[in-house]
């Protein structure tokens, strides 16, 4: 089973003026991203404001993205939630639509123990033939998935990767050291991409790649081809934008940035709110530094 690529963009969901899903803009953005450094797209994730989307909208978004770019790139659907049954249902729907894989977040709010996490992911994997990426983001879920649990899950044939956003490089190093070589560890934080590559990571599920996908791809390629000094140089160069698009809750800044550069993606659904004036000026100045505005 092949890997998903190196630069996967966690795609925002474009909205129209009435805060409805804009499927035309969704198609345009998907094409733009694969033309600008992305090996694949992760749709219906945190960056896509998935908690505010209803099932019919999720299906329409997946159908639009698969129809637009499914023959050119890898499309991964975020189908996990805190409900095992609901996760299975959404995973089945995504498979019917024709995605290439699914991403399953660690269940949030209900805080299952490690054995519960194992059974949750095992149950979903049994109901799909799609390759699965686990998603560990304890800052949002309040539950970390332990290295031992990931190793148990890696024994299941179609669980092939993890997006690691714990911010714990030691944990990531333990994962890459103990997992099989054909199990792929992706950075879930743009600013930790290079450090995670250095301990054996595969790539990144990126937010910044909406804006600097080609440069992130170049950094990863340079590192893997042994040009570490070039990779470090690029990482330093990208540092300001890695920081800038997280000056407040994601995806607020990246949506603002896309609108600033002319890739109109609309606003945000409540409870998210727009950048304030000072945040907007900080972000605009960062984008100017990269000649994006």
DSSP character for 57?
Answer: H
Residue of 25, 58, 163, 255 marked active site: 163
17 in active site: no
CA angle 67-58-121, nearest 5°?
Answer: 105
Please give the backbone phi and psi of residue 233, each rounded to the nearest 5 degrees, phi first.
-60, -45
Residue of 25, 58, 118, 135 marked active site: 135
Q: Could you give the residue ranges of the DSSP H alpha helices within 99-185?
A: 114-125, 138-141, 147-153, 169-178
Q: Could you give the residue ranges of the DSSP H alpha helices within the chain?
A: 23-34, 55-69, 84-97, 114-125, 138-141, 147-153, 169-178, 193-198, 209-224, 228-244, 252-260, 277-289
204 vs 270: CA distance, rounded Å: 28
236 in active site: no
Residue 27: is it exposed, middle or buried by C-beta count within 10 angstroms (0-12/13-18/19+)?
middle
Residue 147: is it exposed, middle or buried by C-beta count within 10 angstroms (0-12/13-18/19+)?
middle
DSSP character for 174?
Answer: H
Query: Would you please indicate which residues are annotated as catalytic (active-site) residues?
Result: 135, 163
């Amino acid at each position: 089973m092949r890997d998903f690529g190196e630069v996967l963009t966690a795609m925002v969901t474009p909205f129209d003026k009435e805060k409805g899903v804009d499927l035309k803009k969704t198609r345009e953005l998907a094409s733009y991203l694969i033309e600008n450094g992305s090996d694949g797209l992760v749709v219906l994730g945190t960056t896509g404001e998935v908690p505010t989307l209803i099932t019919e909208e999720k299906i329409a978004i997946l159908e639009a993205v698969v129809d637009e770019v499914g023959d050119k790139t890898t499309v991964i659907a975020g189908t996990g939630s805190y409900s095992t049954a609901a996760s299975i249902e959404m995973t089945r729907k995504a498979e019917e639509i024709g995605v290439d894989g699914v991403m399953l977040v660690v269940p949030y709010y209900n805080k299952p123990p490690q054995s519960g996490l194992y059974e949750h992911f095992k149950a979903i994997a049994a109901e799909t033939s799609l390759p699965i990426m686990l998603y560990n983001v304890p800052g949002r879920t309040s539950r970390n998935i332990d290295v031992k649990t990931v190793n148990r899950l890696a024994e299941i044939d179609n669980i092939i990767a993890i997006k690691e956003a714990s911010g714990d490089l030691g944990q990531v190093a333990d994962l890459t050291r103990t997992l099989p070589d054909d199990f792929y560890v992706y950075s879930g934080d743009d600013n930790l991409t290079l450090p995670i590559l250095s301990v054996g990571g595969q790539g990144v599920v990126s937010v910044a790649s909406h804006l600097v996908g080609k440069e992130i791809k170049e950094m990863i390629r340079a590192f893997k081809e042994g040009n570490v000094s070039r990779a470090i140089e690029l990482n330093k160069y990208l540092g300001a934008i890695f920081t800038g698009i997280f000056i407040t809750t994601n995806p607020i800044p990246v949506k603002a940035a896309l609108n600033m550069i002319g890739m109109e993606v609309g606003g945000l659904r409540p409870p998210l709110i727009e950048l304030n004036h000072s945040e907007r000026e900080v972000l605009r100045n960062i984008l100017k530094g990269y000649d994006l505005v």
